[in-house]
Structure 1
Amino acid sequence: MIIGTAGHIDHGKTALVGALTGVDTDRLKEEKARGISIDLGFAYLPTPAGTLGFIDVPGHEKFIHTMLAGASGIDFALLIVAADDGVMPQTREHLALLDLLGVSRGLVALTKADLADEARLAEVTSEIAALLAGTSLRGAPILPVSAHTGEGVDALRARLVEAAGAFAARPGQGRFRLAVDRSFSLSGAGTVVTGTVLSGRVRVGDPLVLSPTGLPARLRSIHAQNHKAEEGRAGDRCALNLAGEAISPDAIRRGDMVLDPTLDAPTERIDATLTVLASEPKPLGQWFPVRFHHGASEVGARLVPLSADSLAPGTSGLVQVVLERPIAAAVGDRYVIRDTSAQRSIGGGRLIDLRAPARRRRTPERLAQLDALAETDPDTAVAGLLAVEPWHLDLTAFARDRALGAEAPAEIAARRGLVAFAAGGTLTALSPQRWALYADTALAELARFHEANPDLPGMGAEKLRLALAPRLARPVFGEALRRLGAAGSLVLEGAWVRLPGHEVRLTRKDELLWELVAPHLGRTARFRPPRVRDLAALTGEAEGEVRRLMKLLARMGKVDEVAHDHFFLRPSLAETVAMAMALAEAAPGREFTASAFRDRIEAGDHAVGRKVAIQILEFLDRHGVTLRRGDLRRLNRHRLDLFGAMDDTGAGGDSTAGPAPGADTTSGRALPPVRYPDFKSGRGREPVSGGFDSHSLPPSPAPQRPNPPR
């Protein structure tokens, strides 16, 4: 159990910890010279109930930020009030901060009891009880003690041991997080960081990440509760000996987090609950500037009230916190805000969403989401989120932001009976009712499309995705279509989606004409097929009739018009894309020239010439399969299945492969939206739309491992 002191300066916090443990927590020369605590001090007391860890905090008003760094990870508060002085300003402020941090277990040590008579002790005890009445420590025991004479110290120690025996250790589930409050170097060991383990567990040799910097590290050794250990668990006070290329005491500062690598997703915009202290003189309005204290970190921030235009003193509500720099945090963490001059505490609350939007943050839909996100039970929060827009949820990101275990997404989906799709490195879920509605809407949309376009083989997958609500991400939508396809509800054919009963057929006349034309586009001429006028001459048919047939076949997806009146069979184009893939794999930077592409085709005894190679490449450019920059091109792997090619995972457009629901596909740092370079303008843009006014169905992703921080 971790015990944190609190109270006014010179009320005997350090002396009392020394009397309880035999350790002087003032370790700095300046502290000993001035006789006051300046930085955090640490002591340990072995007991039958386990080792008690003490964090001794400064009491001076100028060191409130240091007090908060120590108090953020404690299990039990030891509020110190001197009998001669009674309740003082920092007594009140420290108690308010403990209340805001949610510390509900503790007791009060009435120190310097040898300097007060019975009447004074009774008076101060009554004053303290009244002060505690409106806080999370209401009803806490008040014990008179004297570090000078030893009066009451043994009784206080016994009460702490009793509290430790009744203390339920923090759950060991979840992923590892430790809030750094000190970093230093030890001769022969290297860099050491200390802090309280907030969640999970860690073992010697585990890979870790320093966040928000993203520096990778390896754990060389552990001291837990002042003893060498092989494992550190939630609630332990730990010293971690870290190794890594960029790891040094100078690279780590108080407030950083040591994390399981999959949790490294810093944030600088957070939605949270906020309780404003009644002592605040004015309401908090839009973009109110504050100092934001979370864990051991302190950063400048601005507040945007969400549930009202402003928050009055003594009230609670929702706010968005916009930070000056990113921090590592988890949903459910407590925080405190102080004024920018560091003279007073303003309020505090709990983090509820680490990925807050910059716009539309006060709409009814967003406020409904925040109501669900405010639930502390993960299952209840998921159920609430799936019942409001946008009706689906990335369970992988949800579990990451709450520091839940790697298995949590699949377990939540199973417990709630959700419909889940493992795609794009995430597990995305919908409620069964929403999935049934989504599937019915998709089939109805296909039916309408077939009725309006009977001569087309199907609807473009991307066009269908954009027509449905919720609008799923492309990889997730691809998995949803494959699931509907496996159930026989629809049919996937490359970039097309159709109902099982829909089929486009040629008339008998067109079938006969196609039998004449097809051989001239086949094996020997597949990369240099005759133009329409030449096909007409070869078959003896009218040029207009041949052109009409080829246009119809293009709409059906059997051929593609690479250049004017120049039609390739779809399998032939798939071959050219496969050749481009092989060329890109072998080329420096995965970029290739038109001449290299021509040589690659001609290597198979196919004389095509530069003109035809350029026509093929320009056609692929228009469809977004290749991306051009000057004389160089590279492949867009998101479009490789447009003409039946396969991407580098080996999964084609019609594949039903993909990670099983619940597979560990967690990524590390938060990923930005995918954007592709516009080589002409130098700006990012969305993938181009080409061909059939649709995008291809995304290929099934291969199962992924957690990515290292980028």
Structure 2
Amino acid sequence: MIVGTAGHIDHGKTSLVKALTGVDTDRLKEEKARGISIELGYAYKPLPGGAILGFVDVPGHEKFVDHMVAGATGIDFVLLVIAADDGPMPQTLEHLDIVSLLGVRTGAVAMTKVDRVDATRRAECEREIRALLSGGPLADAPIFGVSSVTREGLDALQAHLQEAAAAQDARRPGAGFRLAVDRCFTLDGIGTVVTGTVFSGAVTVGDEVIVSPSGERTRVRSLHAQNRTATVGHAGQRCALALGGIAKEAIARGDWIVAPPLHLPTARIDVRLRLSAREAKAFRHWTAVHLHLGAAHALARVALLEGESLAPGSEALAQLVVGQPIGAWAGDAFIVRDASGARTLGGGVVVDPVGRERHRRAPERLDTLRRLEAPTPAARLHALLEASDTGIDLDQFRATQNVAGSELELGRDVIRIESGGRDIAIGAAPWQRLRDTFVERLARSHEERPEELGPDLGRVRRMAFPRHRSAVVDALAASLLEEGRVARSGPWWHLPTHSIRLTEREEQLARAILPRLDAEGVDPTWVRDHAKAVGAPEHEVRALMRRLGRRGDVFAVVKDLYFSRSAVERLALAAKALDDESGAVRAAEFRDRIGIGRKRAIQILEFFDRVGFTRRAHDEHRVRGDSLLRLGESP
């Protein structure tokens, strides 16, 4: 269990920790000279049975509240220190506010310096403390009268801390390892060492980890957990990690050491923000603040997502727009202080660390954020799956929530789609809505353009699914095709009941022209040549070829020059073979491969670019993975 002290300057926090552990946490010369804590101090107390209490001693001076916040983030138990002669003071109030905003719900009060007061003042101070804690998370916290000089009350306080540690479940939600760096230094013969509190997961000697947000990869060479040599460090412990192959200058307080899948630097964080009830006026949209999250301290702006202001004691969804990327994960607590860094304004919890830059106040986005406030990652995922038509990126969800895939039971009716190496999930109800939309869009297209067989899949996506990944639209089309709700002719998608019907005259001409095209292969003749061959007016043959093209029977490479399906498939296979061999298709090589002139080869490649079979990059063409031509498939 990690115990964090809190309280006003000179109320005896450091002396109390020393009396409990025997360790003087003031290690700096300036701290010794001035008699105050400036930096975070750490001490450890072995307990019967082998467990160890970790103490984080924080500065009490108002100038060092940012250090106090860094120490308070990640503690399990707060030890609120109040001197009996002074009673609650300004920093007592601010520190209590901070630990409350950070979500610390267990603790005790050490009423120090009782050797300096009489019984009347002692009783009066207890009443002041009870009044201070009334209505808050520590309202029922026990109060221990103690003296670091006479050691009065220390045994009772120690016994209470041991009981709290025994009841403490240090396993925190989240599968991946995260350590918030609060110190970084070098040791002779060891190298770079970082210390901090492990927020989640576990780390073992030899593990590869990432310094986030910089992205530097390193490996754990050795570690200490709760001030003892260990091979593994767990959530809820203070750990020191010796890291290999990385300079001290590459790591700073506020960085995170994380398991590789959790490296997710962000500069836009959607949160639930609560304004302190002690604030005198409302909080305004786009207020500049000092943000404290984990051990990080950064400048940020707060964009309120619900209204233009926030009243004292109230809460709302908001977005933290940070000056530089930091590490943040769902459920992390944070503190915001005013632009001068002089007072604490409020705090809250991260809802989604990957906030939107645009449309962040859109109703559907706010609905998503409220669904992400469900109590568990599994509940959040199911809430999202009920509503999201675009699908949930499960890889990103696992990373932002820091949860193992095994903890997320999706159910049999959830649709899973692989897209660009990402695992996408869509709930059953949204999936059915998407399928209905696909069919409705085709029906509307047939009404608007009855002379066309139907749109290609790219056009369907642009018309009906502009925010969806192409893999999702592909999967939709495939499922509907399999069930017979839609049909496909070449690249064109249509309802099974819709077709382009030719007149008897057109059917007669088609029976004469299509075999000619098949026979001509990759070097067909022009529309005028076909008209002469079949003895029909040129304009009539041209109109027929356009209709055959809409049915997917032929393809117009350039105006009035049509290729049969078999010819286009042969050309496409030749282009794909070149792409597989050398990573690109070049006009000269393509010309040689199919045995036609350079001009015609260029025209064919430009046609492939137009229909989406290839994409051009300077003088090269690269075959796309989502070709409309569907090589090897029948129309």
In structure 1, the partner of 2:437 is 441
Distance apart, 1:254 and its partner CA: 0.9
In structure 1, the partner of 2:208 is 207
> 1:413–1:420: 8 Å Cα contact kept in structure 2?
no
Distance 2:347 2:557 in 1: 63
The more displaced of 64-73 and 195-204 is 195-204
- Change in 2 beyond 3 A, CA 1:67/1:477: same
Q: Percent identity?
A: 47
- List per-residue Cα deviations over 1:60-86 (Å, max 9, x = no partner): 111111111111010001111122222
> 1:11–1:82: 8 Å Cα contact kept in structure 2?
yes
> 1:219–1:243: 8 Å Cα contact kept in structure 2?
yes
> 1:424–1:476: 8 Å Cα contact kept in structure 2?
no
> 2:605–2:621: 8 Å Cα contact kept in structure 1?
no
> 1:642–1:653: 8 Å Cα contact kept in structure 2?
no
* Matched residue SS, 1:59: coil
- Change in 2 beyond 3 A, CA 1:487/1:407: farther
> 2:177–2:258: 8 Å Cα contact kept in structure 1?
yes
In structure 2, the partner of 1:637 is 624
Gapped regions of structure 2 (runs ≥ 5)? none
In structure 1, the partner of 2:328 is 329
Mapping for residues 25-174 of structure 1, pairs under 5 Å = 25-48=25-48, 50-171=51-172, 173-174=174-175
Distance 1:279 1:235 in 2: 31
* Matched residue SS, 2:523: coil
The more displaced of 172-181 and 557-566 is 172-181
Distance 1:64 1:574 in 2: 70
* Matched residue SS, 1:553: helix
In structure 2, the partner of 1:302 is 301
Distance 1:200 1:470 in 2: 39
* Matched residue SS, 1:337: strand
Distance apart, 1:101 and its partner CA: 0.5
Distance 1:571 1:207 in 2: 53
Distance apart, 1:209 and its partner CA: 1.8
- Change in 2 beyond 3 A, CA 1:200/1:497: farther
Distance apart, 1:302 and its partner CA: 1.2
> 1:175–1:406: 8 Å Cα contact kept in structure 2?
no
In structure 1, the partner of 2:588 is 595
In structure 2, the partner of 1:340 is 339
Write the letter of the residue equivalent to 1:284: F
Return the structure number with greater relative CO, CA threshold 8 A, min gap 6: 1
- Change in 2 beyond 3 A, CA 1:634/1:242: farther
Distance apart, 1:448 and its partner CA: 4.1
In structure 1, the partner of 2:318 is 319
Distance 2:432 2:599 in 1: 51
In structure 2, the partner of 1:659 is none
* Matched residue SS, 1:169: coil
* Matched residue SS, 2:441: helix
Equivalent of residue 499 in structure 1, options 495, 498, 501: 495
- Change in 2 beyond 3 A, CA 1:192/1:579: farther
Distance 1:101 1:122 in 2: 30
Mapping for residues 571-590 of structure 1, pairs under 5 Å = 571-585=566-580, 587=582, 590=583
Distance 2:515 2:433 in 1: 46
The more displaced of 104-113 and 206-215 is 206-215
- List per-residue Cα deviations over 1:326-381 (Å, max 9, x = no partner): 11101121111111211111111112122333343334444333332222323443
- Change in 2 beyond 3 A, CA 1:572/1:216: farther
The more displaced of 399-408 and 101-110 is 399-408
- Change in 2 beyond 3 A, CA 1:105/1:635: same
Moved beyond 6 Å, runs of 4+: none
In structure 2, the partner of 1:256 is 255
- Change in 2 beyond 3 A, CA 1:404/1:309: same
Distance 2:516 2:465 in 1: 45
Distance apart, 1:161 and its partner CA: 0.6
Distance 1:56 1:92 in 2: 17
Distance apart, 1:27 and its partner CA: 2.4
Equivalent of residue 555 in structure 2, options 557, 560, 565: 560
- List per-residue Cα deviations over 1:436-467 (Å, max 9, x = no partner): 33323332333444455555444322333344
Write the letter of the residue equivalent to 1:413: L
In structure 2, the partner of 1:188 is 189
> 1:212–1:257: 8 Å Cα contact kept in structure 2?
yes
Aligned residues: 633
Distance apart, 1:135 and its partner CA: 2.2
> 2:576–2:623: 8 Å Cα contact kept in structure 1?
no
Is structure 2 residue 221 aligned with structure 1 residue 220?
yes
Is structure 2 residue 270 aligned with structure 1 residue 271?
yes
> 1:172–1:199: 8 Å Cα contact kept in structure 2?
yes
- Change in 2 beyond 3 A, CA 1:622/1:418: closer
> 1:83–1:113: 8 Å Cα contact kept in structure 2?
yes
Write the letter of the residue equivalent to 1:98: V
In structure 2, the partner of 1:549 is 544
> 1:109–1:143: 8 Å Cα contact kept in structure 2?
yes
* RMSD (CA atoms): 2.8
In structure 2, the partner of 1:673 is none
- Change in 2 beyond 3 A, CA 1:414/1:206: farther
- Change in 2 beyond 3 A, CA 1:192/1:507: farther
* Matched residue SS, 2:270: strand
Distance 2:458 2:15 in 1: 70
In structure 1, the partner of 2:235 is 234
The more displaced of 220-229 and 288-297 is 220-229
- List per-residue Cα deviations over 1:604-651 (Å, max 9, x = no partner): xx2x12111121122233334444455x12326255x12234xxxxxx
Distance 2:532 2:465 in 1: 51
Distance apart, 1:513 and its partner CA: 4.2
Distance 1:249 1:196 in 2: 18
Distance 1:473 1:628 in 2: 21
Distance 1:386 1:379 in 2: 11
> 1:332–1:350: 8 Å Cα contact kept in structure 2?
yes
- Change in 2 beyond 3 A, CA 1:331/1:172: closer
In structure 2, the partner of 1:11 is 11
- Change in 2 beyond 3 A, CA 1:395/1:23: same
Is structure 2 residue 609 aligned with structure 1 residue 609?
no
Distance apart, 1:543 and its partner CA: 4.1
Write the letter of the residue equivalent to 2:564: L
- List per-residue Cα deviations over 1:378-426 (Å, max 9, x = no partner): 3443444455576754344333211111344xx34228x5444343444
- List per-residue Cα deviations over 1:129-186 (Å, max 9, x = no partner): 1111132211111111222222222221111111111112223642222211112222
Write the letter of the residue equivalent to 1:277: S
In structure 2, the partner of 1:688 is none
> 1:3–1:52: 8 Å Cα contact kept in structure 2?
yes
Distance 1:373 1:263 in 2: 18
Gapped regions of structure 1 (runs ≥ 5)? 646-651, 655-710
> 1:520–1:530: 8 Å Cα contact kept in structure 2?
no
* Matched residue SS, 2:284: coil
Distance 1:320 1:258 in 2: 24
* Matched residue SS, 2:310: coil
Distance apart, 1:109 and its partner CA: 1.1
Distance 2:573 2:155 in 1: 80
Distance 1:617 1:629 in 2: 12
- Change in 2 beyond 3 A, CA 1:350/1:506: same
The more displaced of 507-516 and 202-211 is 507-516
Write the letter of the residue equivalent to 2:410: A
- Change in 2 beyond 3 A, CA 1:487/1:225: farther
> 1:2–1:236: 8 Å Cα contact kept in structure 2?
yes
> 2:352–2:372: 8 Å Cα contact kept in structure 1?
yes
Mapping for residues 425-464 of structure 1, pairs under 5 Å = 425-450=421-446, 453=449, 456-464=452-460
> 1:288–1:303: 8 Å Cα contact kept in structure 2?
yes
